Structure formats: structure tokens, C-alpha cells
Structure 1
Amino acid sequence: MLNYVTAGESHGPYLSAIISGFPANVPLSRTTLWADLAQRQQGYGRGGRMQIETDQVEVISGLRFGRTLGSPIGLLLPNRDFTNWQDVMAPWPTAENDASGQTSSAARRKRTISQPRPGHADLSGALKYAQTQDLRNVLERASARETAMRVAVGSLCRQFLQAFGIEILGWVSGIGAVTAARQARGAVSAPQSLTAFAKIQQQVAADPVRTIDPATSTAMRTAIDQAQAAATTLGGRLQVVVQGLPIGLGSYVAADTKLDGRLAQALLSINAIKGVSFGGGFTLGEQLGRATLDPILATENGFTRASNHQGGLEGGMTNGQPLVIDLVMKPIPTQPQGAPTVDLRTMRATGATVQRADVTAVPAAAVIAQSMTAIVLMQAFCEMFGGDEFGRIQAAYQHYLTTTKAEFFDK
């Protein structure tokens, strides 16, 4: 089964990932991999860290001459900022950097954290893992820096899916109070050719906030500027749309095989994501049942639907319509002026530590959500059509498409 694990701290020497169960003989592109990572780093409102790093992940195993071997794929990404944090984040103790802190360097003592930030993992993580002497042992791993490796893993999965005519896009539908128009949102999520969808993908990739309407993009950037001037942060809304999915990915037979449940878990694992819905989402609860149905139609090319209120999922499975997922991202809790908290050394009220942060990371979250969706879809795809070798998966997929169509339409 396709799976992965990431490792590394935000200011440690490296981030890494191991992917197991990736099929053999899949052609991959380093250019695409690096372009996806660059998209995560970009976006209006990002902070200074992204000006330091150049996220160009190297593949260190499982790939030869651009094709996968079927063995574990190793990914490695150096943190360039580690140069400025060697005394603080060194893996091994030295005479100037011992575990007790008695002879630690001035740099380490200065960066020891005892003021947990509201909205972050700091306090809960420190209590759970007994790290109350220095909250940095929590926040370094809880940092969204880790998602660089998820984007790398997701990029390889997305390249696999593209070989089967499946395209994925994560884009920003709202920042703060600024929301893309309904017509623009409908243009992205409507059933369409992959050629038309590719134009939207290119437009989103070129936009500073990963949205599709120039006027909305301008308004979003103005809202970000205003939040920065007010020394605060902004959240927003993003959407993932997948075109070209077959009917039947996922399953209804067990709770942990339902595709919507698997997608929701993966997407809610992204830092600061607080809500996920599919298709009409929460608005479906306000309508009469007949208004929420997607009538089934038969055409010469197969089954289709008159609408897509369900967002491409029924009974935990894809139904052949575009997969449409909406997400809500809270504002980044780190505030430039700090936030009310207590100092764990004195238990007195104080201001939370201020770490370097973005004004908004909604555009980056859209790229991460795109990648997490790709991972889950590839897992479901390989479970259904085989996961050992690319050519055999292609044959199994084509057989499925041919036989399901022939059963009803080629008589």
C-alpha cells in the first residue's frame, strides 16, 4: 500500500520523507516537482522565511533515470536557515550546547521559549511530551515548514494521476472578508475538458494569491496589506477541484474505506485548517431533499449528472463528476505584537513569544491541500487497480473503463 512519513524540524538541518509502495516504472519530472514546491513558497503575504529557503527537494532513492524502481523513494531537503540556528538546533550536544543548558551558548539561551502561544501546539505539546523547559522542542516540529515535504510527496502522486487524465487544482476562493464571485467559483468546479482546466490551472499558478479573478486578487492583496498595517493576520477559504476521476474510487463497505472520510482526515491535518466540506457542503442542510439531488443521465459516453451538489462523491465513492472540496483556514495565531499567555517558568501573565510568521498563508495552504488530495486519491487508485507496476495499472484501469461502459452502452 502506498504510504509515506516525513521527518525534520523547522530549523533543523534537513526535512526528509520516505514513500513506500510507490509503483515501479512511473515516469517523474524533477521540473514539475520543483515547480510545485516553488508554488508553496510563493503567495502574497508570506513572511521572511520563504526568502531564505530554496525548496529544491532531491530524490535520494527509489528513482533511476526519471523512472521509479518500486523501492522506497527517499526525499531530502536541506534547510538553508539551519546555518543561523546551528547552536540552537544541533542534533548532538557540544561543550557550548549541552542538554541541561548550564553551558549553553548565548544564542541558545536567547531562543529558549517558555511563553506558549495561544492557537498553537505549544502548551498542549509541552505537557504531553514533557517539554516544558523549552517549548521549541514542540513548535519546531509543529511548524508548517513540515508541509514542504507533503507537497513533495503530493507532487509525485499528482504526476502519477496525470498519466490517467486526472488533474487537481487547489486555489484561493477567499481571504478575510474578500470572496471570489459565484460565477468565478462555478467556472473552476464545472465539468470541463482537461484543456480548459489547464488554462485555469495556469491562471491560478500565475496569480499572487492563487485566485482566478483579477479584481478579486487585487481586493485580496489590499486586505492583506491592511492586516499587515494593523499588525495582525488573515485566514480565508480555499477549494480543491479534481477533474477526470472515474466512478468508483473509494468504497462504501467500511468506515475507513470511504473516500470522503479519508480526504477529510488528510485535509484537516494541514496546519490551521478548521473546516472541510464537499460540494454544497453546509448549505445542503438548509435545503429540501429534492433540491440537493444530482439527477443521473445516460449519454453515449456513459453516465453523467445534471448537477453536482454532492461534490463528486456518493456513498464514500467518486461518481464521475468533478471532486469539489472547500476548506476554511483560520488566521495564523502568531501575532506580531504577541498574545496573552503565561510564562511557564514563573506562571505569571505575559505576552506570548513572537516567532517569524506570515500575514496569511492561504495561498500556500491551497498548494498543500492540492498535494494532500493527490496522495489520498493515488492511494485509492492503486488499491483499486493495483500498485506494483505502472504498465499493469494502466491495463487494469483501461479494462475497468471498457467493461463498465460495455455493460450498459455497447450492446
Structure 2
Amino acid sequence: MADAASRLRSVAEQVLGVPLPVRLRAWDGSQAGPPDAPAIVIRNRRALRYMLFKPGELGLARAWVAGDLDIEGDLYGALAHMSGLIWERGEDSRTLAQALRDPEVRAAVRELLRLAGPPLPPAPPREEMRRRGHLHTRRSDKQAISHHYDVGNDFYEMVLGPSMVYSCAYWEDGGTLETAQRDKLELVCRKLGLSPGQRLLDVGCGWGSMAIHAAREHGVSVVGVTLSQEQAVYARKRVADEGLTDRVEIRVQDYRDVRDGPYDAISSIGMAEHVGAAKYLEYARDLYALLKPGGRLLNHQIARRPQRDEEAYHVDRFIDAYVFPDGELAPVGTTVTQLERAGFEVRDVESIREHYALTLRRWVANLEADWARAVRLTTPGRARVWRLYMAASALAFERNRIGVNQVLAVRTPESGGSGLPLRARTWNP
């Protein structure tokens, strides 16, 4: 099979309808494309079969996770080139079905079939989530959370650093990841107006960083809930090491089962993305019911851009299968509307989109710096999932494909007093 790279490049350009902006290197050693461009490496013909049997994002993801598809050179540069073809094509771009009406495209696909070898669908990599039952039941949510978070605390320590905070940091020029994560936790505490003696509920408490910071720095009592057993074990040890067991309780519990309100404040940091559009109003109402009158909610959540046709929106299939199963992103306006429908008064919305791009690039750097250990701690496929997901997400934040917002909302009492000062934005640490 001579010069597979040139043949693949021709096929790709026929199907896409545009020149391929990257170099291809195939399993036979052949190369095609700009010599100074990042290279997409097709290690074997199984990569083609993945893409043929699941065209689009999922086929590419399976080939990547299996190690059959790789990037040589600048990872971010290659993803930036490819994002225009895969994720950021205009709404007027032709679909695969439209492309297949072209006789030349059909001929190109037949050529791809010849290149791919035996017409047998390869099994998905074992890192892919296998779904059972309905979405966003207590059982399915626990399975989804376990898939993402019960990967191993040592792996997360390596990627996240000592802060063990798995959400967007809050940066200053020249700051470190640890400082930026501490500043984010402090920003949340200030927005919530925490003071000694108050009760805080931390929904989706992760490895306990927010709970520990709030108790240690602001003197509050904290209940943190998570669906991950591994997170809970780790968080409880951290709480004990800090000498805060009298003020911090970590539970393995669904937020829908919390019954010991009212709380003075609720923090939900990077958790609401798991809730799902169909359940979001229920989520907002549950948190509203857990707050005392005058209590505050800080909802820190990734948002997507609104679509021209919202009914045509679908989740990213790579992320859904390998990263955040059953997760859904909503535009920030939708989130604000749902919080208000639940009874909240939304008092402040702050976008910190660029901060997440900086955070993700630091996590990728941590992962790449100790790659061999990352593979030992998880699997080669899992490490590849995290590298691609975090690098592609960094670009998505930089290009304003997605954002992240902190929404401060109040359960305003009947008297109408929100409890916030007239000039409320004095909370930046």
C-alpha cells in the first residue's frame, strides 16, 4: 500500500470540501501536506475503521484513545487547525450526508474503505462509558460521576497540583496555579459573605478544598457532598489533617437527598454541568429550599454559546463518551432564567472565561511533565483522554466557544432586603 498518506489526504479533502491544513503521516511511513505544519499520525488501518464506523467526533475519539491516532509536534497548533474542520465549521457548511451526494466524494469514501482493510467494526476502547438505564436518575448520576472522578486520587494530584481543585482558577499576571486556586476559593467565600458561625453547604465538594478553605479562613461549619467514594475518603483525610473535623463533614450523598437545611450559604463549583437540562429547574429549586431567607448561592458553571437552532444542539460525543458522561452545557442566560424561575434573585454574574484557558494549560503541562507516571496510575487510554480533553477545552475557552460564569443568587426574603451592600463588588481578594 504505497503512499497511504497522499491517498488519505486526497480522501479527506474530497469529503471535507476544503484543503487539509495539517500534515498526515501514515503507518507505511509516507507523509503528505505542509512540511512545517503539525502532523496527524495514523498509526494503523484500525484508525480508519474507527472513523468509518462512527464518522465524526466519536470515531476520531475512539482512534485517539486507542492510540491509533496521534499528533506529532505542537498539540495546540494541531487542534487549532483541526477545530475549524471538526468543531467550528459554520452552520452553512455541508454535512456528511450532503457531501455524499457528490459522486467524487462517494468515490473518495470507496477509496477509504479500501485503505481501511477488513470491514469489521473495532471494539470501542475500554475507557468508553457504557450507559445503563435513564439519564440523571440517582443511580445513573452516581455511575457517571464515578466514571470521571474515581480514576485515582494520585492521578488527580499529579494533574491538579497540591490544591486539588478541579475547576477554573482565578489568575493574576505571573501567579502560580496554587495561588490562583486559593484566590478562586477566597473569591467564592467573599461573594457568599461567609462569617464565623454560619453553615455552608458545598454541593459537589470534590476533594474538600472549598470546605477546608471556608472553615479554616472564615470560621463556618461546612457540609460537603459528593457522589464519589474516592473523593470522600481523600477529603475526610485532608479535613482530619487540618484539624477541622469539628467543623467540616464530608458525605457521600446526592444533593437531592440533603434534608438538614436551612443553610446560610451554598457553593456549587463546577457541579451544575452534571445536572442536565431536564433536571436543572429541580436542582435550582432544591438548593433554594435548602437556604434560609437571605441566604446566598454561588453557582460556578461552564456555559456554551447559544445556538441559532437550540433544538439542533447536541453534546460533544467525545466528552459524553469519555469525560463527562451525561453532562450538558447551557447558555448563561438559560441558567440565570432557571435560577430565577426557582425563586432566586440573581444579583451578580461574572465571566471568568480566560481564566479557565490558563488553568487548563497548566493542567496539561502537569500531565505532560510526568506522562509515564500518568499512564502507570491510570491507563494509556485514560491519560490520552485527559490530554486531549484539557487541551481542546483550553482552545475552546480561548476562542469563546464556551465560557465559565460565577452567578451569585439570593433567596431574598419577603421584606425585599437582599443583605448585600449597596456597592457589592468589593469582594475580589
The structure richer in helix per residue is: 2
The structure richer in strand per residue is: 1
TM-score by length of 2: 0.23
TM-score by length of 1: 0.24
